[in-house]
Structure 1
Amino acid sequence: MNAERPTRILPVIVLSQFAGTSLWFAGNAVLPDLQRELGLAGNAVASITSAVQLGFIAGTLVFAVLAIADRFLPSRVFLACALLGAIANALVIATPALAEPYPAILALRFATGFFLAGIYPVGMRIAAGWYREGLGNALGWLVGALVLGTAFPHLLKGLGQSMPWSTVLASLSIIAAAGGVAMVVLVHDGPYGVKGSKFDPRAVFQIFSSRDLRASAFGYFGHMWELYTFWALVPLLLAGYAAMNGTALNVPAWSFAVIGAGAIGCVAGGYASRTAGSAKVAFAQLSLSGLCCLASPLAFLLPAPFFLAFLVAWGVFVVGDSPQFSALNAANAPKALVGSTLTLVNCIGFAITIPSIALAARLAERLPLEWLFVPVAVGPALGLLATRPLCIRNKQ
């Protein structure tokens, strides 16, 4: 079976996924520069991040309803979305010339999120077309690539702190476009690709009526309440600690390290799930990330090396449960509605990130920075309550 799959397939898919998803936090990485140049409000991070999330939700629903990846070759869909997402990202460079640049930036970030719906999920579908066995391990690497791609804009900015923000955005657009070209030229579509079932919105009722699916889906929702809020505000935590302690930190580079560390959690969690099961691995990682929320005020009292180590460990735990919740949702979904159920669960999960980010941004104006994530712990807490029955039954 391996003879039918060239050895380049998984590395190219992983690198293409990394390249495409680097567009996700491109706006966040250059936000301090945009705020200085355009006079954007301090809470712009919430609006810019939420614009991408809304775009991804809209794109996921449109792609599912229109069955885009069934009507067209998935590798070509990936290429088209990588190119269009790259263009939307690059057009932000032209916004300072407009009379009202901020609405244009939000619209372009929404468009970028929309086209990411043809990169992240479609990349996983392409991988599924090449694997009959070992797909879980392959998807663990793909989610890890998503994490590194999400973090990469911070690294690019950190390596060249004097680099103009327009150069950062242009570079990310070139990288994303190159990833799309690599996918269509070097990978194309595998021999095991199958057409998805017709999208059925009635699957939403299955989320609330099935005991096991309700447990895994609600656990995922609690995880999502914390995840993107943490990712969006990591630079704020780092900059705040540096200011409070008079410590010089390369905030963009450390933002990459903290967010990118999640790739370790995804891959390691995938291996651990082979023996412990996805439910126990997801429960353990969600427990640890929730504890990090509660312990975050104490972390601000630590010396810089220990504070940074704490954030990196948090970065490992905060997303390491994501592939396991996806596996649980797929396993617990009705066989005839797997695609529709996963689409709806993902859309609800990403929708939850929007009020969470907005609430955290509002709390940042009222709470001391070190206490900002204590209220966020409610998400992991509720997720753990939902997931616990799956661990007790030891079904997955």
Structure 2
Amino acid sequence: MNPSKHILPIIVLSQFCCTSLWFASNGVMRDLVATFGLNDNAVGHLTSAVQFGFIVGTLVFAVLSIADRFSPSKVFFSCAVLGALFNLGVVWEGNSLGSLLSFRFFTGFFLAGIYPVGMKIAADYFEKGLGKSLGYLVGALVVGTAFPHLLKEMTDTFSWKAVIVSTSSLSLLGGTLMVTLVPNGPYRKQSQQLQLSAFLTVFRNKSFRSAAFGYFGHMWELYAFWAFVPIMLQTYALLHPQTMFNIPLLSFLIIGVGGLACVLGGYLAQSIGTKKVAFMALLLSCFCCLVSPFLFSQESEILFVAFLIFWGVVVIADSPLFSTLVAQNASTEIKGTALTIVNCVGFAITIVSIQLLNEMRTWTGSNSVYMILALGPLLGLMALAFKSKPSFGR
């Protein structure tokens, strides 16, 4: 049974619309600080609140096997609606730091029923060519990640409240599209019972474990790189006063180009293998981490930006491929739970790497600190190097 041609575009569009909840508020952080009289430290707390909410949400969804016991499209829709409502709470005029943190936390919590569940829905439809399908899906997330950097430019024209309302509206649209146009997929196998032990048992499969650990290494680098792209550009501009950077637009380009890389990586994986392409991307991003300190001393700003664009390509190209390997090596009846578990651990790792990198920059002020990001890819490459089942990686 071949899935209808319209299914993948709808899943991708729905994923982009709903994951805009995640990152769009970052584009109006300055307005939130000014409007509610917050201090500068609140910016970091508000950003971390979404990540922490997502981690808690994925943990709850995984333990309860939500995406495998119930219709994934209905789970997606319910979380899209609830996420939109909590996101909308940010515009309440009576907000304090505590209420803002709560709204952002629960927005992140319900994103746990959107991002990994969207991948589960794709896996239910596309048993063959899953890497290509997830490439489009993660590509949509990447563009959503880059979007707030453009919003920083737009907030001069539109009010910050309009940005929040728009992202909530997009989420409602995405959830509605998913629940009305994407029924349960032909390869879905419903789990008949609650499997509280699934969080641990999935890791008994060596091939699954190899893919998951590769993904964890990738996540150590990914979000830290995205978070510090504007800081890297600002640092280079300070070292080379003649440089004229439009930092928001360049940040959008450097991060957003990864969306195209995800799609191209998916097609490439069909030719030479999912595991091989993931390994290659992880190796190249590891190389970027190690040589990054030397690029800050280069006089050519074109070379510096080109390097960051290349890094932006290879740092994310393996993400949908790791998710593909995870899905392929998980039991069919707990595939959604497996994807959610891996997301949970992976995003927990991002908080550690971002905070460590931030502290190291405070201690030293040296651009060599970005080399610490190579630790994750190195460990991920080691995990992928272990021998696994012959079917693994295609």
TM-score (normalised: structure 1): 0.87
Q: 2:295 aligns with which of 299, 304, 310?
A: 299
The verdict on how the C-alpha distance between 1:49 and 1:380 changes in structure 2, with shifts beyond 3 A counting, is farther
Is 1:281–2:277 an aligned residue pair? yes
Unaligned runs of 5+ in 2: none
1:17 equivalent in alignment to 2:12: no
CA distance in 1, matches of 2:27, 2:192: 38
- What does residue range 348-363 of structure 1 map to in structure 2 within 5 Å? 348-363=345-360
- Structure 1 residue 72, shift from structure 2 partner: 4.8
1:222 paired with 2:220, answer: no
Does the CA contact (< 8 Å) of 2:24 and 2:151 recur in 1?
no
Rounded to whole Å, the distance in 2 between the matches of 1:351 and 1:317 is 22
Find the counterpart in structure 2 of residue 375 from structure 1: 372
Q: Which amino acid aligns with 1:135?
A: L
Indicate whether 1:314 and 2:311 are aligned. Answer: yes
Matched-pair contact (CA < 8 Å) for 2:11–2:178? yes
Of all paired residues, the percent bearing the same amino acid is 51
Q: What is the distance in 1 between the residues matched to 2:64 and 2:210?
A: 29
Alpha-carbon spacing, 1:339–1:305, altered in 2? closer, same or farther (3 Å): same
The number of residue pairs the alignment matches comes to 391
2 CA distance for matches of 1:231 and 1:179?
25
**Partners of 1:82 and 1:179 within 8 A in 2:** yes
State the secondary structure of the residue aligned to 2:364: coil
Instruction: For 1:126 and 1:74, locate their aligned partners in 2 and report how far apart those are by CA, in whole Å.
Output: 6
- Summarize the alignment of residues 327-366 of structure 1 with structure 2, pairs less than 5 Å apart: 327-333=324-330, 338-366=335-363
Q: Distance in 2 between matches of 1:350 and 1:137?
A: 23
Question: Does 2:139 match 1:144?
Answer: yes
CA deviation after TM superposition for structure 1 residue 150, in Å:
2.1
Deviation at 1:18, TM superposition (A): 0.7
Could you tell me which residue of structure 1 aligns to residue 262 of structure 2? Answer: 266
SS at match of 2:370: coil
Aligned partner of 1:167 among 148, 162, 170: 162
| Residues 217-274 of structure 1 deviation map (CA, whole Å, 9 limit, x = unaligned) | 2221111111111222222223333344333433222222222211122112212222
State the match for 2:129 in structure 1.
134
Q: 2:24 aligns with which of 14, 23, 26?
A: 26
Contact 2:65 2:334 in 1 (8 A): no
Q: Do 1:259 and 1:315's aligned partners in 2 also have CA atoms closer than 8 Å?
A: yes
Q: Counterparts of 2:321 and 2:382 in 1: how far apart (Å)?
A: 16
1:241 corresponds to which residue? 236
Mapped contact 2:68–2:335 kept (Cα < 8 A): no
Q: Return the offset for 1:346.
A: 2.4
Partners of 2:67 and 2:337 within 8 A in 1: no
Unpaired runs of 5+ residues, structure 1, are none
1:389 is the counterpart of 2:386: yes
Match of 1:249, SS state, is: coil
Output aligned runs, 1:37-116, within 5 Å. Answer: 40=38, 42=40, 44-69=42-67, 72-94=70-92, 97-98=94-95, 101-116=96-111
Structure 1 residue identity aligned to 2:170: I
**Given that residues 131 and 270 in structure 2 are in contact (C-alpha distance below 8 angstroms), is that contact kept between their aligned partners in structure 1?**
no
In 2, distance between residues paired with 1:248 and 1:163? 26
Q: How far off its partner does 1:289 sit? A: 1.2
